[in-house]
């Protein structure tokens, strides 16, 4: 592979893309949304610690597990009845009542009940983060898919409507914006870079020049990588206070951008004109973005459905790496993402050489 | 060694045989015309010879390179002007040439000379989307010769251009040929082929139906006679292969009665219709 040719194509595309109305829109949308959130939802939650009030009647190991989780601060209360009141008083994100014999019942697969209080004074994003985090911890602790019945109790349901508190670009919004960036690159930018060469017949010129098909595709992919890194870098730079583990966050971003560039190559090789890209890319974008939206407690089935979409693993890995909560689960997410990246690159190679 | 040598070249798309077993050769420095109606297989032939499309069968050798196995060696030795104006429209003329120079690994200093050659130096900084068709065509020619190719393939270079711009393009083609570049030209315009080409091949339904110099084709398929109109309105047709043709012509001219005198050779278009059974524009 001739790197001079690859860099010539990338250089041309980098300059040409910002003169292209659609491409420019796709590139600046994530930054625009980030700014919009900053303006509309000022303030923001700068503390990453979720305080949880816990009543632990039987000395469960689950509480010990909660204490080990970096995002969570545990405050214990002596009675179950005092839990909800203490949640409000301490402005905690939620409360948890662990019955005695919880660990034993869990071991016996009896699906014991956990009462979980949710503080509705907090933003819906924080509430969603709390719900998701707790579900993950319980599942991970019990090593069962449905270990316990979680009985969710709203401390003040009406507060959700009153709540105007800002979230800023916290640990929910930042992964969402990053995946929006990835989605725009994968669904619009890379496919349009390829499709336009076909549509305007400039691909004929490239293919009669010393550039091979592999060099042309590498040039397009590199353009996608550069733009993703640029926009993701800006988003991370603006919100650097939310990143707890930079190396792993960057690793996740690199893996994520390789995945979406692969998706872009597949789409670009299958479609033939800009209109087709505009039609299909929106659908692809919605699918890629869906797992990164906070489920807002929709239900477990939503979570399960999202697991078939590779960006679910990207989104979860981003949340964990940015929150500094690196566990075996994080590496599992990265492994799944890596596998998906290999699959899309094989699919792209097949689709391109089939032509 | 010929600049282009083709033996039994064929290309099939599903059940359609676009190019059917063609053979020919083009000498270095020659302007070779490849004439045929729409869908005759001209562009498919250019795409195969320029390494963009694999032949289904047969072999081709361009600038000493096999068109299938030596594509990477071949590409820097050829230039292609596509029938479509495939330029980067949001980029300026100069940026288009800079990109081409980088692809070919050539010095960007050549760009000014190429722009001057096609008379685009003044508008080189303008976006291509603001160029006229003629300017785009000149830029395409500049791009095709920027890297100093041995052979240039021109696919319908004057299609859709007004006569004055067409004449300018023909001048550029002649200039290229004078500098020793071999030209492989497809065109619909018979006068253009007649004027420019050293030899022409007629392509019909993917097959070469005739190949020779324009003069030989015209004389071989036209009438060997001269039509003379006298001052008194009388018309005489003098067969040139007749024994007394020379004497008769001389007498008429000496008598001072000749108003007009025309050879009755066929035009290239008439030869094509005769051989291919249809007009080029069909």
Contact call for residues A266 and A351 (beta carbons, < 8 A): yes
pLDDT at B186: 92
Write the DSSP assignment of chain B as a string of letters.
Answer: --SEEEEEEEEEETTEEEEEEEEEEE-TT-EEEEEE-TTSSHHHHHHHHTTSS--SEEEEEETTEETTT-HHHHGGGEEEE-SS----TTSBHHHHHHHHHHHTT--TTHHHHHHHHTT-GGGTTSBGGGS-HHHHHHHHHHHHHTT--SEEEEESTTTT--HHHHHHHHHHHHHHHHTT-EEEEEES-HHHHHHH-SEEEEEETTEEEEEE-HHHHHHHHS--EEEEEETTS-EEEEETTSTTHHHHHHHHHHHT-EEEEEE-PPPHHHHHHHHHSS-TT-
pLDDT exceeds cutoff 80 at A56 = yes
Tokens of B55: 């032949």
The least confident of A211-215, A244-248, B83-87, B261-265 is B261-265
Q: A210 pLDDT band (50/70/90 cuts)?
A: very high
Residue-wise pLDDT for A217-228, tens only, equals 999 999 999 999
pLDDT exceeds cutoff 50 at A46 = no
Could you state, in order of their start, the residue ranges of all structural domains in chain A? 3-39+169-354, 50-162
pLDDT at A158: 64
ipTM, two decimals, is 0.84
pLDDT at B181: 93
Q: A256 pLDDT band (50/70/90 cuts)?
A: very high
pLDDT at B45: 94
**B260: contact with A, CB 8 A cutoff:** no
pLDDT at A300: 67
Are A210 and B87 a contacting pair at CB < 8 A?
Answer: no
CATH 3.40.1710.10 fits A50-162, yes or no: yes
pTM for the model stands at: 0.74
pLDDT at B14: 85
pLDDT at B160: 79
- Rounded mean pLDDT, A318-339: 83
**B89: contact with A, CB 8 A cutoff:** yes
pLDDT at A44: 47
Are A207 and B52 a contacting pair at CB < 8 A?
Answer: yes
Q: A226 CA to chain B: closest CA distance, Å?
A: 19
Q: Give me the tens of pLDDT residue by residue for chain B, a chain 282 residues long.
A: 789 999 999 999 988 889 999 999 999 999 999 998 888 899 999 999 998 899 999 999 999 999 999 988 999 999 999 988 999 999 999 999 999 999 999 888 889 989 988 889 999 999 999 999 889 999 999 999 999 999 999 998 888 788 888 888 899 899 889 989 999 999 888 888 998 999 999 998 899 988 999 988 888 877 778 888 988 888 888 887 777 888 888 888 888 888 888 877 778 888 888 887 765 555
> Considering only CB atoms, which chain B residues are within 8 Å of A219?
none
pLDDT at A12: 94
Q: A355 pLDDT band (50/70/90 cuts)?
A: low
- Rounded mean pLDDT, A346-353: 84
pLDDT at A295: 56
pLDDT exceeds cutoff 70 at A194 = yes
Cβ neighbours of residue A147 closer than 8 Å, sequence gap 6 or more: A106, A111, A138, A139, A141
Suggest the residue from A4, A16, A209 to mutate for an interface test with chain B (most B CBs closer than 10 A): A209
CATH 1.10.3720.10 fits B4-213, yes or no: no
Contact call for residues A291 and A306 (beta carbons, < 8 A): yes
**In terms of CA atoms, which chain B residue is nearest residue A2?**
B103
Q: A327 pLDDT band (50/70/90 cuts)?
A: confident
Residue-wise pLDDT for A16-38, tens only, equals 888 888 888 888 888 888 777 76
Residue-wise pLDDT for B212-263, tens only, equals 999 888 888 777 788 889 888 888 888 877 778 888 888 888 888 888 888 7
Q: Which of A12, A19, A210 lies closest to B75 in CB terms?
A: A210
Contact call for residues A80 and A117 (beta carbons, < 8 A): no
Residue-wise pLDDT for A119-138, tens only, equals 887 766 677 778 877 887 88
Q: A175 pLDDT band (50/70/90 cuts)?
A: confident
Residue-wise pLDDT for A70-118, tens only, equals 778 888 998 888 888 888 888 888 899 988 888 888 888 888 888 899 8
At residue A2, φ and ψ (nearest 5 deg) are -90, 110
pLDDT exceeds cutoff 70 at A257 = yes
Are A210 and B103 a contacting pair at CB < 8 A?
Answer: yes
Could you state, in order of their start, the residue ranges of all structural domains in chain B? 4-213, 223-264
Q: A163 pLDDT band (50/70/90 cuts)?
A: very low
pLDDT at A164: 39
pLDDT at A225: 92
- Using a CB–CB cut-off of 8 Å, the residues of A that contact B are 4-5, 8-9, 11-12, 15-16, 19-20, 200-202, 204-212
Suggest the residue from B43, B62, B95, B103 to mutate for an interface test with chain A (most A CBs closer than 10 A): B103
The proportion of chain A whose per-residue pLDDT surpasses 90, expressed as a percent, equals 23
3-state percent breakdown (helix, strand, coil) of chain A, nearest 5 = 65, 10, 25
Are A211 and B103 a contacting pair at CB < 8 A?
Answer: yes
pLDDT at A152: 83
Are B88 and A16 a contacting pair at CB < 8 A?
Answer: yes
Q: A167 pLDDT band (50/70/90 cuts)?
A: very low
Of B238, B62, B129, residue with least CA distance to A21:
B129
Q: Which of B87, B90, B104 lies closest to A209 in CB terms?
A: B104
């Amino acid at each position: 592979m001739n790197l001079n040719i690859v860099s010539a194509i990338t250089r041309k595309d980098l300059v040409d893309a910002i003169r292209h109305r659609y491409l420019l829109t796709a590139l600046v949308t994530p930054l625009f949304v980030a700014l919009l959130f900053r303006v509309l939802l000022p303030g923001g939650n700068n503390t990453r610690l979720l305080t949880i009030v816990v009543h632990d009647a039987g000395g469960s190991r689950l509480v010990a597990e909660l204490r080990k989780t970096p995002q969570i601060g545990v405050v214990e209360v002596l009675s179950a009845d005092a839990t909800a009141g203490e949640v409000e008083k301490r402005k905690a994100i939620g409360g948890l009542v662990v019955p005695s014999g919880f660990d034993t019942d869990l071991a016996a697969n009896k699906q014991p009940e956990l009462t979980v209080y949710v503080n509705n004074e907090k933003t819906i994003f924080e509430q969603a983060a709390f719900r998701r985090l707790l579900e993950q911890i319980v599942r991970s602790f019990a090593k069962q898919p449905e270990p316990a019945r979680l009985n969710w109790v709203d401390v003040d349901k009406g507060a959700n409507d009153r709540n105007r508190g800002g979230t800023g670009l916290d640990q929910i919004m930042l992964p969402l914006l990053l995946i929006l960036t990835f989605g725009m690159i994968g669904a619009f930018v890379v496919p349009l870079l390829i499709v336009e060469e076909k549509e305007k017949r400039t691909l004929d010129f490239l293919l009669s020049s010393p550039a091979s098909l592999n060099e042309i595709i590498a040039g397009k992919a590199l353009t996608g990588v550069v733009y993703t890194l640029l926009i993701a870098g800006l988003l991370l730079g603006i919100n650097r206070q939310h990143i707890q583990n930079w190396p792993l966050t960057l690793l996740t971003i690199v893996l994520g951008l390789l995945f979406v560039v692969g998706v872009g190559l597949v789409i670009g090789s299958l479609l033939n004109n800009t209109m087709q890209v505009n039609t299909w890319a929106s659908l692809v974008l919605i699918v890629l973005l869906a797992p990164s939206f906070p489920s807002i407690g929709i239900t477990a089935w939503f979570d399960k459905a999202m697991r078939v979409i590779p960006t679910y693993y990207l989104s979860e890995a981003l949340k964990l790496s940015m929150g500094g909560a690196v566990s075996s689960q994080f590496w599992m997410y990265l492994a799944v993402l890596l596998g998906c990246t290999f699959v899309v690159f094989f699919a792209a190679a097949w689709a391109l050489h089939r032509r | 060694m010929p600049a282009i040598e083709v033996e039994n070249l064929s290309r099939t798309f599903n059940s359609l045989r676009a190019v059917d077993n063609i053979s020919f050769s083009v000498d270095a420095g020659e302007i070779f015309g490849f004439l045929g109606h729409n869908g005759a297989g001209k562009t498919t032939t250019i795409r195969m010879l320029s390494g963009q499309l694999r032949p289904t069968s047969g072999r081709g050798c361009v600038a000493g390179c096999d068109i299938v196995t030596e594509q990477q060696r071949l590409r820097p030795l050829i230039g292609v002007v596509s029938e479509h104006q495939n330029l980067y429209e949001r980029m300026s003329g100069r940026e288009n040439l800079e990109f081409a120079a980088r692809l070919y690994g050539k010095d960007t200093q050549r760009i000014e000379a190429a722009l001057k050659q096609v008379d685009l130096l003044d508008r080189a900084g303008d976006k291509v989307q603001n160029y006229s068709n003629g300017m785009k065509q000149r830029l395409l020619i500049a791009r095709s010769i920027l890297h100093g190719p041995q052979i240039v393939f021109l696919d319908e270079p004057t299609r859709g251009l007004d006569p004055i711009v067409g004449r300018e393009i023909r001048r550029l083609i002649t200039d290229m040929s004078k500098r020793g570049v071999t030209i492989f030209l497809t065109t619909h315009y018979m006068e253009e082929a007649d004027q420019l080409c050293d030899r022409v091949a007629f392509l019909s339904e993917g097959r070469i139906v005739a190949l020779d110099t324009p003069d030989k084709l015209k004389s071989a398929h036209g009438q060997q006679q001269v039509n003379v109109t006298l001052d008194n309105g009388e018309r005489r047709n003098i067969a040139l292969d007749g024994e007394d043709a020379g004497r008769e012509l001389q007498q008429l001219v000496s008598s001072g009665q000749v108003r007009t005198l025309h050879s009755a050779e066929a035009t290239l278009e008439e030869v094509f219709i005769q051989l291919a059974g249809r007009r080029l524009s069909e």
